[in-house]
Amino acid sequence: MTTRLYTHPIYLEHLTPAGHPERPDRLRAIERVLSDERFDRLDRKQSPEGDAATILYAHPEDYVERIRTVIPEEGLGRIDSDTTVSPKSWLAALTAIGAANAAVDDVFSGAADNVFVASRPPGHHAEKVTAMGFCLFNNAAIAARHAQKAHGAERVAIVDWDVHHGNGTQDIFWDDPSVLYCSTHQMPLFPGTGAKNETGAGNIVNAPLAAQTGGDVFRDAFLSRVLPAIDDFRPDLIIISAGFDAHHRDPLAEINLNEDDFDWATGELMSRAERWSGNRLVSLLEGGYDLQGLAFSVAAHVDRLMKG
């Protein structure tokens, strides 16, 4: 089992205000934990810069230009109360997209069985025409479209276990039955979407979790809703929106998962990728704001990806 890792120093140069939870230290914590000798077999690559034209797979051109124009020459620019940009944010976002698309290329070419992309800014809150929730462009949505356009994938499944609902991914694929979107998330919580009755064209599967939910309820949501949906859909590729803020240490939510839960969920999705997708699985970092919880969870996730 070949597991590839993409990351890049440019991600550290997407700056946020002091005290902001989505900060460069998140990637530093991941880098430290993945430097352990048990990860020596990881196939480490530097993320390539993406093609700006691929952003149009998920966002209209006027939106892309609007984001480009808000990037400041110095200091910080503000999109909303939570979402800020700095001089290198455009390049960081473009490189995150480049890594996501390269990961798709890798699993379709056989260069890797699965890929983890440690990038920022995250993406799953970015709607077609709205940046929000720390997100500028929807990396998972762009990667799914890239799989369809470049590799002829007929069906792509996106599984989002971030503790916040991926309103952006749901918005982009709301009426597109060629993409399955499954999400486990705390509700009520930001951004306020993700009810069970939000089903799109029958391709949206939401499994909201109550505050203080533990791993048993999370696993049941996977077993009863997410995994059967994947089996019915039979995807050519599985993309994980891998947020780790459902960890019990995380300051932005009240779900009580631990590293074993992320290890288990990873294994379940790998078994579906083996069954339906020729092992093709791409994992993209989303949230996770307690540095220890994030590091330990990523370590468990990547270790499982490597073990097969």
Domains and CATH numbers, the chain: 3-307 (3.40.800.20)
CA distance 119 to 12: 9
User: What backbone torsions phi and psi does residue 5 show, to the nearest 5 degrees?
Assistant: -120, 130
Whether pTM > 0.95 for this model: the answer is yes
The whole-number mean pLDDT for each consecutive block of 10 residues of the chain, a chain of 308 residues, reads: 95 98 98 98 98 98 97 97 97 98 98 98 98 98 98 98 98 98 98 98 98 98 98 98 98 98 98 98 98 98 94
Do 132 and 165 form a contact (C-beta atoms < 8 A)?
no
Contacts of 94 (CB under 8 A, 6+ apart): 49, 50, 52, 55
- Give the pLDDT score at 308: 76
Q: Which amino acid is at 205?
A: V
Catalytic site residues?
125
Q: Which amino acid is at 157?
A: A
Question: Rg of the chain over CA atoms, in angstroms?
Answer: 17
Cα 62 from chain centre: 24
